[in-house]
Amino acid sequence: MAPDSGGTVLSREEVDRALARLGAEHEAIESSLLALQDHAGRRLLEGAELAGVTRERWARAEETVTRLWSYFDTCTDALHTARELRARRRYPSRDDLLQLSMLLHGENLVVAGEGGRLAEHLGWSELVERMNAGYAEVLDLVAAADSVWSALPARIDLLAAELRRLSELAHSVGVRPGAHPAGDDLHQVTGELTDLRAGVIADPLAFWVRDGGSSAPGGGRPLTTRYDRAARALDDIRREVEAVIGVRKDAEDRLIRLRDVLSRADRTLAEARTARGEVLAKIAASEVPAVSGPSSALHEQLAAAADYRRRSQWHRLSALLDSLERRAEEELERARDSLSAVTAPLAVRAELRGRLDAYKAKAARLGKAEEPMLVERYDLARRLLWTAPCDLRAAENAVLRYQRAAVEVLVPEPGPVDRRSEP
């Protein structure tokens, strides 16, 4: 088949414009293909043991990707040939223009044929259109699988973790398979979540619903019907277990929560004490507040409440639990406030560091960073901020001095008014 220029011989200017346009398209295609190659979803698909519709569609997608790179190589070769031909002469001859027209405007790009044909001759626009369509198809698959894998397994794992906690709690009050209907439901939901996670990992596209009006790659949402059904079943089981606990062990449940709150308060206070040592080592500040130890009175009263429960002294336990729950929350809040107060100097230092570097970057953008006065004040402020222990007051003053100096340098003073043009 003879080369075809489409019946048109391009002028020199038209050739140059076509080369520029096709060069830009070539770079955009290359960037898209490389981005697709590095896409996290594509890498996961390559390494996963797929099943069902995902395995079938990914096998076709891999063929499409191979074909896209083949098309791209064809475009690269044609563009390279056209650029070499154009570079021979500043003012190309008519024969040169005819050859360039064939390369850039005619259907002379030879690619592997589709539909049983060995080869096809295509023009740039048709080949680019095919590449865009193939790229969109593959990206749609990759984005959809990645969206499902990013959303559902994590949610299933969280639900499974909640299920394990609930199972332990249910067993502690006698809610077990064969002994209570809620125990049978727990066993069933456990199996359903295991099967659901395996299905999502192996066949993510089976859990994808396209948006009817969206044509964007990955336009859709994960199908959460089975997950939602399991979550609702778990909520029903939780209510049943809580009802059992409310009837049989309400006091024990409240004691467990109290221990948890006090434990968190104790851990927070311990963290605050550790942080205080770090702050004192890094910040020269005498106003870092001291951190108290855990409340021994609350722990003693908690032990007394547990003793009331063992002795079934419910009338005494009720009032004590009400008071303990309120005071334990106050203790946790006090511990959190203590941690925040202790670490405040580190936050101030970080803010000063950020402000100093921001003004230096601004000065650098305007070519003023090497002004002697700015260099001197920056070095002083930086030395104060990066020296341990850091004198925050001196460092803040140094940052303010650098900030003012930067403003003076960066904002030019108004010059004299030229009045010669005034009437």
pLDDT at position 322: 74
Residue 205 DSSP class:
G
Q: Kind and range of the H or E element at 27?
A: helix 12-38
Mean pLDDT, the chain, rounded, equals: 79
Averaged pLDDT, 192-199: 94
Instruction: Give tens-digit pLDDT for 149-195.
Output: 888 999 999 999 999 999 998 887 667 787 778 888 999 999 999 99
pLDDT at position 162: 93
pLDDT at position 195: 94
Q: Which of 30-44, 73-87, 90-104, 219-233 has the lowest mean pLDDT?
A: 90-104
pLDDT at position 188: 93
Averaged pLDDT, 50-76: 85
pLDDT classification of 47: cutoffs 50, 70, 90: confident
Return d(Cα 71, Cα 112) in angstroms, integer: 9
CB 325 within 8 Å of CB 258: yes
Does 231 score more than 90 pLDDT?
yes
User: Of 121 and 155, which is predicted with more confidence?
Assistant: 155
CB 284 within 8 Å of CB 387: no
Tokens standing for 192? Answer: 């359903």
Tokens standing for 231? Answer: 């979550």
Averaged pLDDT, 289-299: 81
CA atoms within 13 A on the CB side of 91: 0
Which segments of 170-237 are extended strands (E)? Answer: 208-210, 220-222
Evaluated on CA atoms 346, 350, 353, 355, the torsion sign reads negative
Return d(Cα 34, Cα 144) in angstroms, integer: 19
pLDDT at position 113: 61
pLDDT at position 10: 66
Return d(Cα 41, Cα 317) in angstroms, integer: 56
β-pairing, 220-222 vs 109-112, is unpaired
User: Of 390 and 112, which is predicted with more confidence?
Assistant: 390
Tokens standing for 347? Answer: 């936050």
| Secondary structure (DSSP) of 51-69 | -HHHHHHHHHHHHHHHHHH
Does 259 score more than 50 pLDDT?
yes
CB 381 within 8 Å of CB 419: no
CB 11 within 8 Å of CB 104: no
pLDDT at position 114: 64
Q: Which of 56-70, 276-290, 408-422 has the lowest mean pLDDT?
A: 408-422
Percent of the chain residues past pLDDT 90, beyond the cut: 13
pLDDT at position 421: 41
Which phi and psi (to 5°) does residue 2 adopt? -75, 145
Instruction: Give tens-digit pLDDT for 345-379.
Output: 888 888 888 988 888 888 888 777 788 888 888 88
What is the 3-state composition of the chain as percent helix, strand, coil, each rounded to the nearest 5?
Answer: 75, 5, 20
pLDDT at position 420: 45
Averaged pLDDT, 224-243: 89
Return the SS3 of 167.
Answer: helix
Tokens standing for 78? Answer: 């044609």
User: Of 248 and 419, which is predicted with more confidence?
Assistant: 248
Question: Minimal CA–CA distance to 200: which of 172, 171, 166, 224?
Answer: 224
